[in-house]
Amino acid sequence: MQDNQGQDIHGQDFRKVADLVAARIRDGALRPGDRLPTQRDFARRHALAPSTAARVYRELARRGLTVGEVGRGTFVRAAAAPDVPALTEPATARVDLELNHPVAPDQAALLAPGLGPLLRPDVLADALRPVGVAGTPAARHAAATLLARGGWHPDPGRVLFAGNGRQATAAAIAALVPPGARLGIEELTYPVVKAVAGRLGVTLVPLAMDGDGVVPEAVEEAHRRARLHALYIQPTLQNPLSLTMPATRAHRLADVLHRTGVHAIEDGVWGFLRDDLPPLAAHAPERTVLIDSLTKRAAPGLTTGFAVAPAGVADALAAALRSGGWMPQGFALEAAARWQADGTLDALARAKRREAAARQETAARRLDGFAVRGDRHSYYCWWDLPEPWRADTFVAAAARRGIGVTPAAAFAVGHHRTPNAVRLGLASPPSDELDRALTTLATIARSTPDDTMAD
């Protein structure tokens, strides 16, 4: 068979065809956002077997040059695929709306007094000793008080500790889901969990969601098809959609957990922003492992992870923490206990709730008229982009203006159609910088991809 350049093309030469397409992308003949022909049309134009055309498209995707969207086609990427999972490292963009670490006004000044006593040599020596996953009695009681919300109070004896919340989540998955087994997960979810599951050899099963969060019947149906060993869920201020599960939905989900015997891994790291609501663990205490951390409450530079585990899971979870090397640091536990005792963490939480509301007001004002969803308690916005924008090209256009945003594909699980949307993290930049960045994004959205490429 011959391609349109007169070259011989057989199945083993698919990389040469991919090289030709890559050269067109590099030379600008194919621009970011351009749609490639269907594989059938591509095969016909290049006189290829359909199987060879499919291998060409897979090779282009592997190189990070294209992205496929179910139901829409294959498009030239606006930027090379990242080498690390989204949201795991600080963004290089000048204005970071990807990572989301809320900082309260005068936060360092609030935290400093609690650390002062730790600098006494005798206290410091004790705080620097190794500590196990059970922590210390003082740390367990402080953590139980810290995690209490909405009338729910965990048993201090059921609290375990990790270095941070991600480690606690990884340990919970490892303890509950064997390699190759199935973990139910919201169809749009925290990207790091996708990476963790991949490293543990766990199969993710995307579950349908609606305006109240994950649909309980979707959990039951997925379990009926093939066993779910556990469910990872964010009932409060879900990342990326900012959804909060109402009590009626939580009751229904708890019933499903009890009927099926499935355990839930509840990610509660944003729960401190809604301390009026009890967690899912309050509705299904024997079926739920609650994960939390100090990263959002205090600061990522000095953090610890918490896991409140049912009696039947605690031993396996503790073993997973130890075998993974995900041990807590004694200094961080002591600092957290002191900040909890002197009211610092409560003061920080109140300040961050006020800051979240102010930033949501800024977003509502600057993005008025667009399809933007958020919650006044949340530090996220989910933006369904207007036509003719696609998420990939919008992310690239924002990056050219020095603004980092996250495409919906980073949160999507499985191969269902990815929403044409981006997530905006409102926490990291200073307020005035956030205001300017959102104004710029609104200007971009009111233009077209061709307009921004011409800038």
Give the pLDDT confidence of 333-356 residue by residue, as tens digits: 999 999 999 999 999 999 999 999
Calpha distance 2→209 (Å, rounded) = 48
327: exposed, middle or buried (Cβ count in 10 Å: 0-12, 13-18, 19+)? middle
**Nearest CA among 305, 302, 306, 291 for reference residue 164:** 305
d(CA 146, CA 159): 11
Contact (Cβ atoms closer than 8 angstroms) between residue 351 and residue 298: no
pLDDT range class, residue 90, cuts 50, 70, 90:
low
Contact 148, 340 (CB under 8 A): no
What confidence score (pLDDT) does residue 8 get?
A: 39
Residue 220 has pLDDT above 50, yes or no: yes
CB atoms within 10 A of CB 36: 18
- What does the DSSP assignment read for 306-352? EEE--HHHHHHHHHHHHHTT-PPPHHHHHHHHHHHHTTHHHHHHHHH
**Cα pseudo-dihedral 216, 217, 219, 225, rounded to 10:** 170
Residue closest to 233 by CA, chosen among 278, 162, 169, 326: 169
CB neighbours of 326 closer than 8 A, spacing ≥ 6?
A: 162, 163, 167, 168, 170, 171, 305, 320
Angle at 214 between CA 213 and CA 216, to 5 degrees: 125
> What is the pTM for the complete model shown?
0.81
Cα torsion through 228, 233, 239, 243, rounded to 10: 120
Residue 77: band (very low, low, confident or very high) from pLDDT cuts 50, 70, 90:
confident
Instruction: Report the DSSP beta bridge partners of residue 162.
Output: 305
> What is the tens place of the pLDDT at every residue in 104-158?
988 989 999 988 898 889 888 988 898 999 999 999 999 999 999 999 999 999 9
Element of type H or E holding 75: strand 73-76
Average pLDDT in the chain: 90
